Amino acid sequence: MKNKTMWDNDSVQFARLLGEIVAALPCDQVKRLIKDLSASMDLSVDQVNELFDRADALWVGAKGCMDQLNMMEELLSITKQFKEQMVSVQRDRWSEISARTADLRDNV
């Protein structure tokens, strides 16, 4: 399942789409596309290339952030599990100590 936050972020998805378009096309078609976009957008070829580079940087950065977020969520889950185990161990030890204390009282 796609991370909903990432999927709903238009800036990230548009950057991803631009990157995938360039990645899916053969090099000669990319060059022609950039030339056509340059003319259509009234930009230089370098400016169009810069837009694709900026989109790629945005997408790569977003993926990195999501990877970090996923690792943090996993760490939080592990921490919660550890806490639950420690509470269980402490509860068991307390029960054991209480039982020993009761035995000592009964033997006195």
Per-residue model confidence as pLDDT tens digits over 9-44: 888 899 999 989 989 999 999 999 999 999 999 999
CB 52 within 8 A of CB 99: no
Q: Is the pTM of this model over 0.95?
A: no
- Reported as a single tens digit per residue, the pLDDT across 39-91 is 999 999 999 999 999 999 988 888 878 777 778 888 888 888 988 888 888 88
Q: Determine the average pLDDT of the residues in 86-104.
A: 85
- pLDDT for res 98: 85
**Mapped to the 3 state alphabet, what secondary structure does 63-106 carry?**
HHHHHHHHHHHHHHHHHHHHHHHHHHHHHHHHHHHHHHHHHHHH
Could you state, in order of their start, the residue ranges of all structural domains in the chain?
4-107
pLDDT at 70: 76
d(CA 65, CA 59) in angstroms, rounded, equals 10
